[in-house]
Amino acid sequence: MKKKLSIVIVLFFLIISGFVFFYKDHLPPMTVLKRMRITTGLDISQPSKIIVYEERYSFTGDGFVLVRVKFDKEAFNRILQDLPKKKYIKIKPNNITSRGDLLFNDFEVGIEKKDFNTMIDGYYYLKFDDYDDYNLIVIDITNQEVLIQMLIS
């Protein structure tokens, strides 16, 4: 009887430990780093500088998240090595409007306090979820920045 109980306790402990190990980014508290890893799917380590982090929500649950961080050379190179495994698309000059916004198939996206005319090289990933929800991730190679803009409706 004691042996069965100890086996059950050990199995329970292993299951909980495995859950915590594999889903640690989804557990509270939700930090900037966790949000970036979950949203981008990239191997992101500690950023050298958080330039902008804003979250705004209304009473209806609609929300807006903007994250803009700068990385040192070593951490940014790890992100660039992880890009080929993901579905990030190279930004071409015709993706940037004269106002400095990004243009994707007649869908124009501007990120506050960011002019994309200063970006020479970069990648993006744009994912639409439901009605108007989208996640936009921009990897700015020129300035070694990662930008995330999420619209939640």
**Model confidence pLDDT, tens digit, residues 26-73:** 556 667 777 777 777 787 777 678 888 888 888 887 888 888 888 888
Structural domains counted in the chain: 1
Q: Which of 20-29, 44-53, 91-100, 124-133 has the lowest mean pLDDT?
A: 20-29
CB 151 within 8 A of CB 58: no
Span 97-121, mean pLDDT? 64
pLDDT at 109: 64
In a domain, 18, yes or no: no
In a domain, 11, yes or no: no
pLDDT at 91: 79
The helix or strand, by DSSP H or E, that contains position 64, with its residue range, turns out to be strand 63-70
In a domain, 7, yes or no: no
pLDDT at 83: 81
In a domain, 41, yes or no: yes
In a domain, 2, yes or no: no
Alpha helices per DSSP H over the chain: 2-22, 32-40, 73-82
| pLDDT of 111 strictly over 60 | yes
Q: Scan for tokens 């916004």, then name that residue.
A: 101
| Selected residue with higher pLDDT from 34 and 80 | 80
Domain of 74? Answer: 31-152
In a domain, 112, yes or no: yes
Span 3-10, mean pLDDT? 79
Among 11, 37, 7, smallest CA distance to 22 is for: 37
In a domain, 68, yes or no: yes
In a domain, 6, yes or no: no
